Structure 1
Amino acid sequence: MAGRPRTSDEAPQGAAASLLNGLGVLEAFSIEKPILGVTEIAQRVGLHKSTVSRILSGLAEAGYVQRDEATGRYRLGLGLLALSGPLLADLDVRRAALPYLEELTDRTGETSALAVWNGEEAIVVEQVPSPHQVKHTASIGTRYKKFASSSVRVFLAGAGREEAMSLLESGAVVLGERSRSAAARELADVRNAGVAVNDGGTTPEEFGVSAPVYDYRNRMVGCVTASAPRSRAQGEAAALLAAAVIETAAAVSARLGAGAKRAPA
Structure 2
Amino acid sequence: MTERSAPAPQGAAASLLNGLNVLEAFTPAHPVLGVTEISDRVGLHKSTVSRMLQGFAEAGYVQRDETTGRYRLGLGLLGLAAPLLADLDVRRAALPHLEHLTEVTGETSGLSLWNGTEAVVVEQVDSPHQVKHSAHIGTRYNRWASSSVRLFLSSMDLDHVHSLVESGHIIVSEQDRQDGGFDSPEEHLRQVQNDELAINDGQTTYEEFGVSTAIRDYRGRIAGCITVSAPRSRVQHLKLKDLLISSVRDTAKAVSARLGDEA
TM-score range with shorter-chain normalisation? 0.7 to 0.9
Residue in structure 2 matched with residue 151 of structure 1 by the alignment: 148
Q: Distance in 1 between matches of 2:152 and 2:21?
A: 36
Is residue 86 of structure 2 the alignment partner of residue 89 of structure 1? Answer: yes
What whole-Å deviation, never above 9, does each CA across 1:104-150 have from its counterpart, x for those lacking one?
Answer: 11100111111111221112222111112222222322221111111
Per the TM alignment, residue 153 of structure 1 is displaced from its structure 2 partner at its CA by 0.6
CA–CA separation in structure 1 for the residues paired with 2:116 and 2:6: 33
In 2, distance between residues paired with 1:184 and 1:10?
56
Partner of 1:255: 258
Match of 2:11 in 1: 13
Distance between the aligned counterparts of 1:91 and 1:21, measured in 2?
28
| Greater mean alpha carbon deviation, residues 92-101 or residues 17-26 | 17-26
Q: In structure 1, give the amino acid aligned to 2:226.
A: V
Alignment partner for residue 51 of structure 2, among 45, 50, 54? 54
Question: For the residues of structure 1 that align with 2:38 and 2:173, how far apart are their CA atoms?
Answer: 54
Q: Are 2:34 and 1:37 equivalent residues in the alignment?
A: yes
Residue 71 of structure 2 aligns to which amino acid in structure 1?
Answer: Y
How far, CA to CA, are the matches of 2:185 and 2:19 in structure 1? 45
2:249 corresponds to which of 236, 246, 250: 246
Task: Give 3-state SS (helix, strand or coil) of 2:240's partner.
Answer: helix
Pairs within 5 Å for 1:228-243: 228-234=230-236, 236-243=239-246
Identity %: 62
Alignment match, 1:263: none
Q: Which residue of 2 aligns with 1:210?
A: 212
Structure 1 position 151, deviation (Å)? 0.6
Greater alpha carbon shift after TM alignment, 55-64 vs 167-176: 167-176
Q: Secondary structure of 2:69's match?
A: coil
Note the C-alpha offset of 1:258.
2.6
> Are the structure 2 counterparts of residues 203 and 20 from structure 1 closer, same or farther at C-alpha, using a change threshold of 3 Å?
farther
Unaligned runs of 5+ in 2: none
Instruction: Give CA-to-partner distance per residue, 1:145-197, whole Å, 9 cap, x none.
Output: 11111111100011232222221122122222244544334323322332111
Aligned to 2:122: 125
Pairwise CA RMSD: 2.4
Q: For residue 3 of structure 1, what is the aligned residue in structure 2?
A: none
CA, structure 1 residues 189+71, in 2 after alignment: closer, same or farther (shift >3 Å)?
Answer: closer
Residue 192 of structure 2: aligned partner: 190
What is the distance in 2 between the residues matched to 1:60 and 1:226? 45
Q: Residue 26 and residue 152 in structure 1: after superposition, are their counterparts in 2 closer, same or farther (change >3 A)?
A: same
Using the size of structure 2 for normalisation, the TM-score is 0.85
What is the SS of the residue equivalent to 2:191?
A: helix
1:17 deviates by 4.3
TM-score between both structures, scaled by the size of structure 1: 0.84
- Report the residue type matching 1:195 in the other structure: L
Q: Where do 5+ consecutive residues of structure 1 fail to align?
A: 1-6, 261-265
What letter corresponds to residue 133 of structure 1 in structure 2?
Answer: Q
Q: Distance in 1 between matches of 2:6 and 2:136?
A: 33
**How many residues are paired up?**
253
| Alpha-carbon distance, 1:46 to partner | 3.9
Corresponding residue SS for 1:234: helix
